[in-house]
Structures are given as C-alpha cells and as structure tokens.
Structure 1
Amino acid sequence: MTELVFRALSDESEFPLFDRVTTLPTSGVGERSRTFADLAADGDYRPAWVWIALRGDEVVARASFWGPPDAEHPSALDFFDFDTVETGTALLEAAYAALVTPDYHAPIGDRPEYNLFLPADWRERPDAKADADARVEAAERAGLIFHVERLTLRWEREYGLPPRSTRLTFSPVTDDQVLLDLLADIVTGSLDAWDRRELRTRTPQDVAAEALAMVADMPGGRDRWRLGHDSSGELVGMVMPTRNSRSATIGYIGVDHRHRGHGYAYDLLAEAMHIFAEEGEPFINDNTDVGNAPMAAVFDRIGYRVTGRRMLFS
C-alpha cells in the first residue's frame, strides 16, 4: 500500500486540495455555515496551518487550523475529516507536533482547541452519531481532551423582540474596575465550563480580567456594554453585546451570584437584543454550555432557536 504523507499546504495555490478529501460525512457532522473555500478566500486560513494526509495523489484526511489575522499561532481546529480513525489520528498527531512549538501561545489554552460542529439532533440519528463518535475517537487518540458540549443558538428579527425590562435600569460601562469587580463576583459559582475550569487554578479576579480582555478584543467595541441595576440602585449584573467577525453576539452576560434566582439574565439579554435591533442587526448568533441549564432556558424563553451543537477538545 502507498505510504501516507502528512503535510501542511505549501501556499494558497494548494487550497483546492483541501476540498478533494475522499471521505466527507453526509450527516451534517463537521459542517460549517460557510465552505472552506469561501473562508479561505476571505483570508481566514494560512497555508502553513492547513494540513492534509496524502496516499499517492489522493487526499484521505484534512485538518484546518485558524487564528486571528495578527496571531503568531493558531488557536482553533475547525475542519477535520478522514477516511479512517487511524488516518485522522495520525494527521492530528503530525499537525499538533508541528504547530505547538515551545513558544506556542493563544488566547485560550496551551494548544489549539478542536471545535467539532454537530447537528442539533446528532444523538438521535445513527449516521450523525457514527460520524461524531469517529471524530471524538480520533481526537482523543491524538491526545485531545473533551471539555464541554455547547448549544449553538440564533435569534432573528422575524422571531420577535421580547419586552424591555421594567424592573432593571441600565447604564453604560464607564469604569473598568467596577466591571472587573462585578465579573469576579459573577464567575464565582458560575456554571460556565470555561469559568469553572479556569477557577481551579486561578483567582476570580484573574478569570474576570481575562474574560474582559477577550471581549474587549472583539471587533464590536464596547459602546453597547451595559450594567444592570435593580429598583434600589444596586448593581446586579451585566451584559456585553458585541460583534465577532461574522455577526452580532453576546460577548458575556452574567448576574452577581448574590442576586441569582430572580430571572435577571432574561432582562439583561432582552436589553442587548433591543440595542442590536435599534442598530438594524438582522440576527444574533450565540452559544451556551449544555450544562448551563438556567442560561439555556433563558435563551429558549426569550426566543432563540437551537441551530446546532459544538463539542470542544484541547
């Protein structure tokens, strides 16, 4: 049998090779809202971060890594397809060994995080479950560790706007220290998997500072960020509406742990949705952990719809 060759693409002229992979799932597992070719044309990928496995002239596996335009290292793996689990595992091992150098650094984690995109009903469909299970097995054989499954959520204007809160008042964020102190209170007892993981080794203040920096670095700016106050004027929560490279999104939302149980997350999210609607945004894309049932319930009650799921490994 012809020996397998694992390598990165040499330059942009080789991007078409990526779509010549011989085995692609038809179940929707791994699908993105845009094709690799479209994303590559927009400059989302660098040839040195796009890997293929070749058996002769046949592309039998592929893996594409992504990072922000000014990043030195990739921070995420998003397309990952193969003919067999063994081939996929070997491709990931080769790619991670080459890309995770001693000086590797990224906004989150010590190596690129694998995003496994899934249909919303993947567990109920045998074809989708088989395709997902194969990717999970290949990732774990290559040394990646599962962290969380997340719901992919979307709101569109045609779904209707919720009423604006009558029990909270909102003010812009003008003092980062006030926001940092609130964020530190919010992450305490958080059900968010990333917050909980970081709190194992870091203080709430450090986790809050990183969350603030991450949202501040997004292209949406900070003019929409709001603090929520109850009828007595006490600060109870915050919401950080922003934009990523594709759409409007909620960068962070949270209620001080001392004020949970009153449904304030609904009020905060409704305010953000009105801000976006006033700007003419046609839709908002968001996500939340499957394990964060209270927040998932808020998204559902306010009118978001589940469009898919995503597993994260690193």
Structure 2
Amino acid sequence: MSDLLFRPLEADEFELFHRYGPLPASGVGARHLPFDELDYRPGWVWVALRGDDVVARAGFWGPRGSERPMSLDWFDPGLGPDRIEVGAALLRAAYAALSAPGHATRAGERPDYHLFLPADWRERPDAFADATDRIRAAEEAGLHRSVERLNLRWTPEYGLPPRQGRLTFTRAVDDESVIDLLARITEGSLDAWDRRLLAEKGARETARETLSVIAGMAGGRDRWRLARDASGEPVGIVMPTRNDEFATIGYVGVVPAHRGHGYADDLVTEALHIFTAEGELEVRDNTDVGNTPMEASFARIGYRVTGRRMILI
C-alpha cells in the first residue's frame, strides 16, 4: 500500500478519472447520465494512483449550490487482487479530507454511499461479484449498510391513472401545519430515513428536517398538497418537486389512522396529474425494499422498476 497515492482532482485533471476505464459490464454503478453531465466538482473527485496507473476512483456529489458533498455515488475499487484494500484506503483518505476543518461537512455527518445496482443483481454472478467488491471495500472503510431501495420510473406513456375523487387537495402553504402532519405520519413509518431520524431526533425534529430537505430541492414547494377526506379530516400529504435533473415525489405519507385504505394511490396519482399538466416527460422515484405497501402502490399506479440502490452510511 505504500506505493499508492490518494488524491483529489482539479477540474483540468478529470481525464485521470476516465483513465481508470469503463464501468463494469454487469451494470453495477451505472448512472443514467454520463460523468460530464452529473456536475462532479473539483476536490470531490478522487483517484488512487500506482505510478501513472489509476487503480481506483471515487466521485462525491452534491446539488448545485451546496457547499459540501451529499453522497458518494461513483466508486470503483479496482480489479487487482488487493482491490478491497485499495478501495477502502481510497475511501478512508477521501472521507478524512472531506471531513477536515475548512470543509462544510457538519460534525458527525458524512456523505452516504449510494451504490446503483441492476434490479436482478443478486441473481447474476457478475453483478453480484461487482457489487460485493464495492460493499466490502466500503464496509472496510467504516461504512455500514443502511437500506436497499427500488428505483422506479413513470412516464405518461404508461397511462395516467384517474383521480378517484375520495380526497380534497389543497396547497400546503403553512409550515407549522405541514410539520404537524409530518410528525403524525412518522409514527409507524416503514421508511428507513424516517425511522433513522425518528430514533435520533424525535417526531417533530424529523418533520422539520423533512420539510427543510424537500423545500431545498430545485422544484420548490408550489406543488405540495395536503389531502383531506369528505369529513375534512387530514389524511396525508404529497410533496411533488424536482431535483436538478427530473421530476420526483419528494415525500408521500398517510396519517396512521387512515392507513390501509389505499390513500397512497390517491396521493401519488395527484402528483402525477400535477406533473403531467406541467408537461413533465418522466417521473423518477424510489421506495425502500421492505416497504411493501408503498411498493404495491407504485406498482398499481403503473411505475416500473428500473434498478436498485443500496445506501451505506
């Protein structure tokens, strides 16, 4: 390992990142856009060099305007017999630098690792091997598995589901009302992110953080809708938005007392009608593996699974 150099790249050095070679033929780590269109920044892209050879690489990403990376979402630990050790050492060096004084990473917080996977990665030996290399290297670097998610896609060509008319939707304009509702929805949530924050911060702070994250996305909050039943009782909320690249439902949730009636279908359908009226050509979403009610709802509405994503923290 003493013959290795780990360092970040400047903007005029990104060709070094590509010198490593292509992504695995298995599809592990594949992105929907090429590297140059994903807004990777100088200092957040790292390589491991053995002489002039790039033997491992890692790309950290954050939304436009952010001062710190939000995620590690491009990582190739190499192909040699010491690839796990090399990949782990690269991640340790990069995480240490990005957490050092002078960077905007908050204390005790580090970017999650998002590993993009084919939907059938466990059934295919090549994909399983490529994924396992990356997971093992990340775990050796100190990360651990948090959740696996289904990546989902909907386009108007799949068919716009009709509104059922069971709920009345109004704009979500008052922060405190939204926080109150989100705090109620966190009870019994099957979403790993909700449950993680709930254990650390409690229901109300989890709700505040959810509102802050979704409000900070590129789509703003004009599309957010509160849902009420015929009696005027709040049933849930849906928060359609956009990230830097595509339309997405930032959050959808049903109050515990109203679960089991298929209201998630109504909430997602409302979001798709809003997106369609605005001319969006596709909507990309995800849900945790194990959140079977939400997975079933997306399937009924017509979403298609495009892959999986494992998150290590």
Q: TM-score when scaled to structure 2?
A: 0.95
Structure 1 SS opposite 2:201: coil
Query: Which residues in structure 2 correspond to 1:93-172 (within 5 Å)?
Result: 93-102=92-101, 110-172=109-171
Q: Residues 23 and 29 of structure 2 are in contact (CA less than 8 Å); yes or no, is this contact kept in structure 1?
A: no
**Aligned position for 1:179:** 178
**Aligned position for 2:8:** 8
Q: Residues 23 and 81 of structure 1 are in contact (CA less than 8 Å); yes or no, is this contact kept in structure 2?
A: no
Structure 2 SS opposite 1:47: coil
- For residues 215 and 108 of structure 1, the distance between their equivalents in structure 2, rounded to whole angstroms, comes to 22
**Aligned position for 1:54:** 49
**Aligned position for 1:78:** 73
**Aligned position for 2:193:** 194
Instruction: Tell me if 1:307 matches 2:306.
Output: yes
- For residues 143 and 199 of structure 1, the distance between their equivalents in structure 2, rounded to whole angstroms, comes to 23
Over 3 Å counting, the alpha-carbon distance change for 1:78 and 1:99 in structure 2 is same
**Aligned position for 1:243:** 242
Shift of 1:141: 0.3
- For residues 12 and 124 of structure 2, the distance between their equivalents in structure 1, rounded to whole angstroms, comes to 37
Shift of 1:101: 1.8
Query: Which residues in structure 2 correspond to 1:18-97 (within 5 Å)?
Result: 18-22=17-21, 24-39=23-38, 44-83=39-78, 84-97=83-96
Kindly tell me the number of residue pairs found equivalent between the two proteins: 309
Over 3 Å counting, the alpha-carbon distance change for 1:181 and 1:2 in structure 2 is closer
The answer to which of 69-78 and 223-232 deviates more is 69-78
- For residues 244 and 121 of structure 2, the distance between their equivalents in structure 1, rounded to whole angstroms, comes to 27
Over 3 Å counting, the alpha-carbon distance change for 1:303 and 1:107 in structure 2 is farther
Could you list the runs of 5+ residues in structure 1 that have no partner in the other structure?
none
Q: Residues 75 and 108 of structure 1 are in contact (CA less than 8 Å); yes or no, is this contact kept in structure 2?
A: no
Over 3 Å counting, the alpha-carbon distance change for 1:22 and 1:167 in structure 2 is closer
Shift of 1:82: 2.4
- For residues 297 and 171 of structure 2, the distance between their equivalents in structure 1, rounded to whole angstroms, comes to 23
Over 3 Å counting, the alpha-carbon distance change for 1:222 and 1:2 in structure 2 is closer
- For residues 124 and 105 of structure 2, the distance between their equivalents in structure 1, rounded to whole angstroms, comes to 35
The answer to which of 138-147 and 63-72 deviates more is 63-72
Amino acid across the alignment from 1:17? L
Shift of 1:256: 0.6
Over 3 Å counting, the alpha-carbon distance change for 1:234 and 1:106 in structure 2 is farther
Structure 2 SS opposite 1:152: strand
Query: Which residues in structure 2 correspond to 1:263-278 (within 5 Å)?
Result: 263-278=262-277
Query: Which residues in structure 2 correspond to 1:251-262 (within 5 Å)?
Result: 251-262=250-261
- For residues 238 and 96 of structure 2, the distance between their equivalents in structure 1, rounded to whole angstroms, comes to 39
Could you list the runs of 5+ residues in structure 2 that have no partner in the other structure?
none
- For residues 245 and 109 of structure 1, the distance between their equivalents in structure 2, rounded to whole angstroms, comes to 27
Shift of 1:34: 1.0
- For residues 190 and 103 of structure 2, the distance between their equivalents in structure 1, rounded to whole angstroms, comes to 29
- For residues 23 and 279 of structure 1, the distance between their equivalents in structure 2, rounded to whole angstroms, comes to 37
Over 3 Å counting, the alpha-carbon distance change for 1:107 and 1:256 in structure 2 is farther
- For residues 175 and 38 of structure 1, the distance between their equivalents in structure 2, rounded to whole angstroms, comes to 36
**Aligned position for 2:220:** 221
Over 3 Å counting, the alpha-carbon distance change for 1:290 and 1:108 in structure 2 is farther
Over 3 Å counting, the alpha-carbon distance change for 1:227 and 1:2 in structure 2 is closer
- For residues 133 and 228 of structure 2, the distance between their equivalents in structure 1, rounded to whole angstroms, comes to 48
**Aligned position for 2:293:** 294
Per-residue CA deviation, residues 112-159 of structure 1 (Å, 9 max, x unaligned), is 110000001111111000100110000000001110000100001100
- For residues 285 and 104 of structure 2, the distance between their equivalents in structure 1, rounded to whole angstroms, comes to 26
- For residues 141 and 201 of structure 1, the distance between their equivalents in structure 2, rounded to whole angstroms, comes to 25
Percent identity between the two aligned chains: 62
Per-residue CA deviation, residues 75-111 of structure 1 (Å, 9 max, x unaligned), is 2101100221111111111111111125765589700
Q: Residues 44 and 59 of structure 2 are in contact (CA less than 8 Å); yes or no, is this contact kept in structure 1?
A: yes
Moved over 3 A (4+): 102-109
Q: TM-score when scaled to structure 1?
A: 0.94
Q: Residues 63 and 244 of structure 2 are in contact (CA less than 8 Å); yes or no, is this contact kept in structure 1?
A: no
Amino acid across the alignment from 2:7? R
